[in-house]
Structure 1
Amino acid sequence: MNAWIWGIVLLIAIWAAHWGADQLASPLKKLRKGWGFSGVAGGALVGIATASPELAINITSAAKGVSDIGLGAMLGANLIALPLTLTVGYIAFRTGSDQQASTALPIEEETVTRHVLPYLAILGLVALLTLPPAWRGLQPIDGWILLGAYLAYLAQVLLRGRSESQSQQWKKKEWLLAAAGLCVLAIGAYFTVRSTQQIVSALGISKLVGGIFITGTMSALPEVFSTWSVMRSRQHTAAVTVVLGDLVATMTIAFIPLAIVSTALQEVQLFWVSLAALAAMAAAFGALIGTKQPRLRSWKVGIIVALYLAYIAVTLIWVLNAV
């Protein structure tokens, strides 16, 4: 099959993986309410489900011996997730029933301290574990370290700011859908990796580049619809913090399969430029919204988008010499 056919297979596989992940998100949302976690904490909990496609893709790519695809998909999904989610979320807010009251999107104050700062710390940890020449790449010990970092992040988010729990009713259908979701997620992840292999081969590009700009970008698109619906339901903080929880989970537990098989870094320059771009966007987001009465305005969203476009330009012109 040619690249176009495999591109269609990739889209179907990614949508299948995200459908499967969505079936896991519903029970986690009920657990959040049942345990009395805040909207900020709920973002981290639901982020486990939203990051599961990247984890499944990495498991598959590690098992098939094409770890660069998983690594690229993970980086690509992280890179586009924040600017895409903020843009769609802000548009949903401004076109909803809240738009006459304010042009600034309110976000809970704990967003920066509980999500953004830990994410920046984790990015620094990833750089420390993977970039120095003495231990460049991913080894099994790195997976354990990143797992510990994620558990520490999850604990500080969930155990702070709890409120009264709300009684939840569980239906058998929800558990059956969750089980079906796991199966579909696995199938979707397999065909995501398989189709990416074929596409990068047909286009003559590296697996890491294909993972970042093809698989990673495509895998972030289904989140647009969930962000839109959550924002229109006035769950402002949840719409933003879920993606932050996703980013943290992706940059920690999703690394574990690649660490187990000792993934080497083949394109170091592209890797560290991508990490730097992630840090720049996260730091800018945290600085722009602040910690006291955080608000998101259109010009702030524009800055995050501009940083992502600058990353694309730097990568094409300097890293890949494609222009």
Structure 2
Amino acid sequence: MSASSLLILAAAFITLFASGGMLVRALTAIGRMVHVSEFALAALLVAIATSLPEFFVGISSALSGVPSLSLGDLIGANVLNLTVILGIGILLSGGIAFDRSMRISDFLAALAVAVLPIILALDRVISRTDGIILLLACIVYFAVLLAFDREPSEVNNVASPAAERIFRESIRFVVGAFLLIVSSAIMVTLAAEGAIAFRLPILFVGILVAFGTTLPELVFAVMAARIRHGAMSLGNAVGTVAVNIGGILGFIALLRPIAISEPLPAFLGMGVTVALMAALAFLGLRKKSLSPSAGAFLVMVGVVFIVLETFLAL
């Protein structure tokens, strides 16, 4: 890869981060103006907003004929969200307590979505039919979340928004989405070129791309921790898993079926995601909190996962 390509890749990486942050701010503001509860805001709107980089990378990779890149990106993003990013949020918040707006059904529904791709990919292909199943699972997850998470919160105590402000935030959303499309397309193209040049597996390159596409989640986790709303980090992490696996992976499979050419790293990543979701469901049911030590453990798990995936790619 030439020096100019590396510079373009760096610029696209920065743009992806900036536009992702723009979308987070826009959708968060819109969500507050239309009276969405805090946990639902994180698990729905913020999860969707912070997953947009993965969505656009997925579209670009599918249209470029390398959907495995998107699979690697989604696997890496899910594990990073549930380990390093959530762990940092827990550490900065001094621990996260499960409040009344969080239901065990939220975690169990997300866990069910996380298990699906393992079952569907046993034949080493995520087909268009599998994509439809994943999309339906994502819809069911949202239905469960909306049905059980309607506790009032301070987010609801806001005045009726002015039409101009909603319009302004909508414009910010459109601009952010456009920048995401452009920057993600550039990253997919250059990442594929880099994989060929260095003879790296496409799936592994996708996991590396996940470091860029999860930056919005990291920014949100840090911001939520700074204002003592660590529970929003948890809601975003759980919601993002459902959106990535059910919504994005399902949609990409509809565009182009995904062949699992590297089953070991793929199933390792999906298995780790399921194990982490099961652990969160257990802690939510029994412990009612996530301590700083749990946050440190999650960060360590994320580091070990990255090392293992790197070893498998060599």
Cα pair distance change 1:76/1:9, threshold 3 Å: farther
Tell whether 2:253 aligns with 1:258. yes
Greater share of helix: 2
Cα pair distance change 1:290/1:162, threshold 3 Å: closer
Q: What is the rounded CA distance, in whole Å, between the counterparts of 1:114 and 1:30 in structure 2? A: 27
Equivalent residue letter for 1:23 = M
Match of 2:161 in 1: 168
SS in 1 for 2:259: coil
Match of 2:69 in 1: 69
Structure 2 gaps, min length 5: none
How far does residue 251 in structure 1 lie from its aligned partner after superposition? 0.9
TM-score w.r.t. structure 2 length? 0.87
Match of 1:98 in 2: none
Match of 1:220 in 2: 214
1:80-95 superposed matches below 5 A: 80-94=80-94
Equivalent residue letter for 2:133 = I
The answer on whether the counterparts of 1:280 and 1:307 sit within 8 Å (CA) in structure 2 is: no
Give 2:111's match in structure 1, choosing from 120, 134, 140: 120
The answer on whether the counterparts of 1:85 and 1:240 sit within 8 Å (CA) in structure 2 is: no
How far does residue 312 in structure 1 lie from its aligned partner after superposition? 3.8
SS in 1 for 2:125: coil
Count the aligned residue pairs.
305
Give 2:262's match in structure 1, choosing from 261, 267, 271: 267
Match of 1:37 in 2: 36
1:1-323 superposed matches below 5 A: 1-2=1-2, 6-45=5-44, 46-94=46-94, 104-109=95-100, 111=102, 113-131=104-122, 133=123, 136-163=124-151, 165=156, 166=158, 167-170=160-163, 171=165, 172-212=167-207, 214-255=208-249, 256-287=251-282, 289-291=283-285, 294-316=288-310, 319-320=312-313, 322=314
How far does residue 160 in structure 1 lie from its aligned partner after superposition? 2.2
Q: What is the rounded CA distance, in whole Å, between the counterparts of 1:145 and 1:297 in structure 2? A: 36
Match of 1:101 in 2: none
Could you tell which deviates more after superposition, 5-14 or 263-272? 5-14
CA deviation string 1:54-110 (max 9, x = no partner)? 01001001101111211111111112122222232133224xxxxxxxxx4323255
TM-score w.r.t. structure 1 length? 0.84
Structure 1 gaps, min length 5: 95-103
How far does residue 122 in structure 1 lie from its aligned partner after superposition? 1.0
Match of 1:99 in 2: none
Q: What is the rounded CA distance, in whole Å, between the counterparts of 1:163 and 1:240 in structure 2? A: 16
How far does residue 228 in structure 1 lie from its aligned partner after superposition? 1.0
Identical aligned residues as a percent: 23
Q: What is the rounded CA distance, in whole Å, between the counterparts of 1:33 and 1:178 in structure 2? A: 15
Q: What is the rounded CA distance, in whole Å, between the counterparts of 1:128 and 1:108 in structure 2? A: 32
Equivalent residue letter for 1:277 = V
SS in 2 for 1:252: helix
How far does residue 21 in structure 1 lie from its aligned partner after superposition? 3.5
Q: What is the rounded CA distance, in whole Å, between the counterparts of 2:253 and 2:187 in structure 1? A: 16
How far does residue 29 in structure 1 lie from its aligned partner after superposition? 2.6
Cα pair distance change 1:312/1:230, threshold 3 Å: closer
Could you tell which deviates more after superposition, 73-82 or 32-41? 32-41
Q: CA RMSD in A?
A: 2.4
Q: What is the rounded CA distance, in whole Å, between the counterparts of 1:282 and 1:32 in structure 2? A: 26
Cα pair distance change 1:114/1:28, threshold 3 Å: farther
The answer on whether the counterparts of 1:61 and 1:67 sit within 8 Å (CA) in structure 2 is: yes
Could you tell which deviates more after superposition, 244-253 or 4-13? 4-13
